[in-house]
Structure 1
């Protein structure tokens, strides 16, 4: 899987190039976030008609967080919307509604569903476990307020990219049997790997997802970090996992697939050829990423 000279698509090469262009002004966390948001928005299309986009502030047990909700402007279904709870990546340090609108809005449009994108607590303002707790609290709050959101609680899915995959798995494992989503989707999951820094370009997008850089803000070493594949003790719903051909997290993903197999989970695995890293923003520009996205849609559509 690892290759010292990977044969990347032309678009993947350009992704690497632009990831280097969007570099932070300095190593301050605010600079890192500004550069990351600008890079992600480089791939975000302007808003057009046909989509209702609302920003909400949610009150959780310990603090308040923001959430962006995407709904097609079609006539609302009488029985309520099918829905997606989206958990964004960003190494638990960056990311939010602006950086991931490109994918949340696209999913809402293409699947004709309501998509919830919460801005969970990030490091260093919060501890490592805050993101998981926030996502769990928001997911359960959405279920409790199903009538308000006009959703069908039993027709939901959890979708996550990059480091958000860890949070998605942790949330799913913490849910009761009655709260379980119908499906789980992990796009280019990013886990802790000891050698990631030596196999990835040291440009923005890879630094963000690289556990070693996060030690700057937390002091948590890769050996003790929480972004390893979590223990899976309960059943996992039907799942789709998108990988890349040159996947630095190959070993961790094999571990995840083995754990899912032991739980008799039905898993669709799709590998994007000529790709590496969390290159999801290329879904409109690169055939290889678009093929991953089309496979994802094909997987989710029957669940809705």
Structure 2
């Protein structure tokens, strides 16, 4: 099951795509991978990494929420990070509305998305709302 949605409780709407496993959801909702796509902060969208997000949903039997964050050069740093952070906090507070267990959130990303996921994971350690896991796929972590 695939649904395009919008996180509207942010200062601006952020488009996301929710992949839900087939079958009956657990009583508390699906565990969820918040996936942040790569593309050098300037390429990519909800379609470009669907080969990864569909696979994660199907093979791990978890929900996957893919973030369509703002890209450069139209939007400067920290716009992409802020979009990911906004979606995470919304999901943490309201996941049940989308049948997601907000206590079982994992951050994941590839390349630039891995950088954003890692940065978000570090920041969340200071808020008490940290994710229960982090999966980095060839992350860009420095030169």
TM range (shorter): over 0.9
Would you say the 8 A contact 2:108–2:117 is kept in 1? yes
Q: Aligned pair 1:168/2:133, yes or no?
A: no
Task: For 2:122 and 2:113, locate their aligned partners in 1 and report how far apart those are by CA, in whole Å.
Answer: 14
1:107 pairs with 2:74:
no
Tell me the distance in 2 between the aligned counterparts of 1:144 and 1:75: 22
Listed one character per residue, the Cα deviations across residues 84-132 of structure 1 (whole Å, up to 9, x for unaligned) are: 0001100000101100111011001001100000101100111121001
Cα-to-partner distance string for 1:191-210 (whole Å, 9 max, x where unaligned): 443xxxxxxxxxxxxxxxxx
Give the unaligned 5+ runs of structure 1.
1-51, 194-304
Greater strand content: 2
**Structure 2 unaligned spans of 5+:** none
1:87 aligns with 2:26: no
Q: Given that residues 32 and 104 in structure 2 are in contact (C-alpha distance below 8 angstroms), is that contact kept between their aligned partners in structure 1?
A: yes
TM-score, scaled to structure 2:
0.92
Of structures 1 and 2, the larger Rg is shown by 1
> 1:282-293 maps to which residues of 2 (within 5 A)?
none
TM-score w.r.t. length of structure 1 = 0.45
* Equivalent position of 1:136 in the other structure: 85
**2:132 counterpart residue number:** 182
SS at match of 2:65: strand
Shift of 1:181: 1.1
Match of 1:256 in 2: none
Give, in whole Å, the separation in 2 of the partners of 1:157 and 1:58.
Answer: 18
Residue 25 of structure 2 corresponds to residue 56 of structure 1: no
> Per-residue displacement from partner, 1:164-213 (whole Å, max 9, x unpaired)?
121111111222453111111111112443xxxxxxxxxxxxxxxxxxxx
Structure 1 pair 124–107 and aligned structure 2 pair: CA distance change class (3 A): same
Task: Show the 5 A alignment for 1:145-156.
Answer: 145-156=94-105
1:200-279 map, 5 Å: none
Give 3-state SS (helix, strand or coil) of 1:156's partner: strand
- 1:203 paired residue number: none
- Runs of 4+ aligned residues of structure 1 deviating over 4 Å after TM superposition are none
Residue of structure 2 in register with 1:288 after alignment: none
**SS at structure 2 position matched to 1:73:** coil
Say which structure, 1 or 2, has more relative contact order (CA 8 Å, 6+ apart): 2
